């Protein structure tokens, strides 16, 4: 074993050194250049022509081209692009999906309206997305996915009564799994973690579909962690990971769980190779910083460049992540608080409340987190960590309000 490591290291060094030098030289001279040989590899494509997903996409594209005016094939292709974007964290596929849908102007088919709703919620145009899903349901009242997505948006907006109505509609349609997932989350978000956990578990028992199981197991992991049961949460996350499907949301939630459990070394292993996805790069950078690894500087810098690039495009959908980056990696509580507050005007899930509370606490500005504290009080959300953050902020608020404490 030791010997094999040694020979590996030797050949490794033989290849790496010249390449590292070349990479350094390339980055130092980052200017337009003319490659010297025709064989120089410039770009590796995400999909190879023979890949399974490439073949599937090619078939769907051909299907759409064969019937350019038909909504069905277009909706299938757009949905496939969107799913690929979610799995790989690669927003180019979202753009491809949008372009497919845009060819139809104001789409008149339920399937197209649902995909356009998905794309709009991705861009945080929640109002537009709700309209699209409603229009799809008007065209096809049995379109369960439209109810499920409306519920998801209402959960993000912390409108639990409206979400519950969508859950009820799913029950009326006889969709037990979707209903269980929907109402379990409404319960969990609105102050009933134990009941929510049980409902999600019942939903899990109703389905063999790996996609549904992955989603439910991930949410069970989150709810178990909020209930203060890390071992149980871990078992759910591991079961979800064992399904072997790429899923950006699962990896981000698992990374956050490990960070909260003070296990940053495992984050570096679990998310290795996922630097290209911004939200996972954030978790990697936080883990490297916690371990004081040499690559921490590079990761944080790369993340900063990604946010700067998104800013150039006028993209504001990453504000929650950018707030975390500002707070935890740059120690800039003021900027973090501004971003977290702007984000909270649009998204109000527990994680959005958490970064707002943390940034407000770090900035010593209890008033800025008032919307999150109001939500904690109104929803009765039971996560001990968030409750503690809320209480600490009450103390900060009192200190600021007391006559002698204003200057602190």
Partner 1 sequence: MLRRALCLLLLLLALPALAHKASDSYLVLDVQGREVTGQWDIALRDIDFALGLDADGDGGITWGEVRARHAEIAAWALGRLALRRGGECRLAVADHLIDSHSDGSYAVLRLAGSCPSAGGELALDYSLLFELDALHRGLLRLGLDGSTQTAVLSPQRAEQRFAAGEVSRLAQFGQYLVEGIWHIWIGFDHILFLLSLLLPAVLVHEARRWRGVAHFRQALTEVLWVVTAFTVAHSITLSLAALGLVALPSRLVESAIAASVVLAAANNLKPLVERRRWMVAFGFGLIHGFGFASVLVELGLPRETLVLSLLGFNLGVETGQLAIVAAFLPLAYALRGTGFYRRLVFVGGSLATLAIALLWFVERAFDLKLISG
What 8-state DSSP symbol labels residue 314?
T
Residue number, 310 or 368, with CB nearest to partner 1: 310
Minimum Å distance from CB 51 to partner 1? 8
Task: Identify the H or E element spanning 310.
Answer: helix 295-312
Minimum Å distance from CB 85 to partner 1? 9
DSSP-H helix ranges across 89-158: 92-102, 110-122, 126-139, 144-156
Residue number, 137 or 282, with CB nearest to partner 1: 282
What 8-state DSSP symbol labels residue 369?
G
Residue number, 99 or 377, with CB nearest to partner 1: 99
Q: Which of 399, 400, 360 is nearest to 376 (CA)?
A: 360
Burial class (CB in 10 A: 0-12, 13-18, 19+), 196: buried
Residue number, 313 or 408, with CB nearest to partner 1: 313
Minimum Å distance from CB 343 to partner 1? 19
Cα distances from 47 to residues 44, 52, 96, 115, 281, in angstroms, run 9, 9, 14, 23, 21
Tracing tokens 């130092």 back to the chain, one arrives at 28
Q: Which of 117, 41, 54, 50 is nearest to 81 (CA)?
A: 54
Minimum Å distance from CB 11 to partner 1? 6
Q: Which of 267, 250, 179 is nearest to 211 (CA)?
A: 250
Minimum Å distance from CB 37 to partner 1? 7
Query: 137: how many CB neighbours lie within 10 A of its CB?
Result: 20
Minimum Å distance from CB 207 to partner 1? 30
Residue number, 56 or 159, with CB nearest to partner 1: 56
Minimum Å distance from CB 340 to partner 1? 23
Cα distances from 256 to residues 266, 309, 349, in angstroms, run 11, 24, 15
Name every residue whose Cβ is closer than 8 Å to that of residue 344 and which is 6 or more positions away in sequence: 352, 353, 356, 371, 372
Residue number, 64 or 137, with CB nearest to partner 1: 64
216, 199 in Cβ contact below 8 A? no
Q: Which of 330, 386, 329 is nearest to 361 (CA)?
A: 386
Residue number, 51 or 374, with CB nearest to partner 1: 51
Residue number, 238 or 245, with CB nearest to partner 1: 245
Residue number, 92 or 398, with CB nearest to partner 1: 92
Minimum Å distance from CB 74 to partner 1? 13
Minimum Å distance from CB 373 to partner 1? 35
Minimum Å distance from CB 246 to partner 1? 12
The residues of the shown chain that bind partner 1, judged by CB under 8 A, are: 4, 7-8, 11-12, 15-16, 19-20, 23, 26-27, 30-35, 37-51, 88-92, 94-96, 98-99, 101-103, 272-273, 275-278, 298, 302, 305-306, 309-310, 312-315
Residue number, 90 or 140, with CB nearest to partner 1: 90
Burial class (CB in 10 A: 0-12, 13-18, 19+), 251: buried
What is d(CA 26, CA 378) in angstroms, rounded to the nearest whole number? Answer: 55
DSSP-H helix ranges across 313-406: 319-324, 333-346, 350-363, 370-379, 384-401
């Amino acid at each position: 074993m030791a010997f094999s490591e040694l020979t590996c290291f030797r050949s490794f060094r033989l290849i790496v050194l010249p390449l590292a030098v070349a990479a350094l030289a390339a980055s130092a001279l980052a200017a337009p250049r003319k490659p010297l040989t025709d064989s120089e590899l410039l770009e590796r494509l995400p999909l190879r022509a023979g890949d399974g997903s490439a073949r599937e996409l090619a078939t769907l594209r051909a299907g759409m081209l064969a019937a350019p005016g038909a909504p069905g094939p277009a909706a299938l292709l757009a949905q496939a692009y969107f799913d690929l974007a979610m799995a790989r964290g690669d927003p180019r596929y979202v753009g491809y999906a949008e372009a497919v849908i845009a060819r139809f102007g104001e789409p008149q088919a339920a399937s197209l309206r649902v995909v356009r709703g998905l794309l709009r919620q991705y861009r945080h145009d929640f109002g537009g997305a709700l309209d699209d899903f409603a229009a799809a349901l008007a065209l096809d009242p049995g379109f369960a996915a439209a109810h499920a997505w409306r519920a998801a948006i209402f959960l993000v907006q912390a409108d639990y009564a409206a979400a519950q109505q969508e859950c009820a509609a799913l029950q009326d349609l006889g969709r037990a799994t979707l209903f269980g997932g929907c109402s379990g989350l409404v319960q969990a978000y609105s102050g009933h973690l134990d009941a929510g956990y049980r409902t999600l578990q019942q939903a899990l028992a109703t389905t063999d579909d790996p996609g549904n199981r992955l989603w439910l197991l991930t949410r069970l992991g989150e709810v178990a962690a909020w209930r203060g049961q890390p071992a149980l949460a871990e078992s759910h996350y591991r079961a979800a990971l064992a399904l072997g499907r790429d899923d950006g949301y699962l990896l981000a939630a698992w990374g956050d769980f490990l960070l909260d459990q003070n296990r940053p070394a495992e984050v570096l292993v679990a998310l290795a190779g996922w630097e290209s996805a911004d939200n996972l790069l954030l978790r990697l950078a936080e883990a490297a910083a916690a371990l004081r690894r040499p690559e921490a500087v590079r990761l944080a810098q790369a993340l900063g460049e990604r946010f700067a690039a998104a800013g150039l495009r006028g993209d504001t959908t990453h504000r929650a992540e950018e707030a975390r980056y500002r707070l935890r990696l740059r120690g800039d509580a003021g900027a973090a608080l501004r971003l977290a507050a702007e984000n909270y005007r649009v998204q109000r899930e527990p994680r959005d409340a958490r970064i707002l509370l943390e940034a407000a606490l770090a900035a010593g500005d209890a008033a800025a987190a008032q919307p999150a504290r109001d939500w904690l009080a109104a929803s009765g959300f039971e996560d001990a960590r968030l409750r503690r953050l809320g209480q600490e902020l009450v103390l900060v608020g009192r200190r600021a309000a007391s006559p002698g404490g204003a200057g602190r």
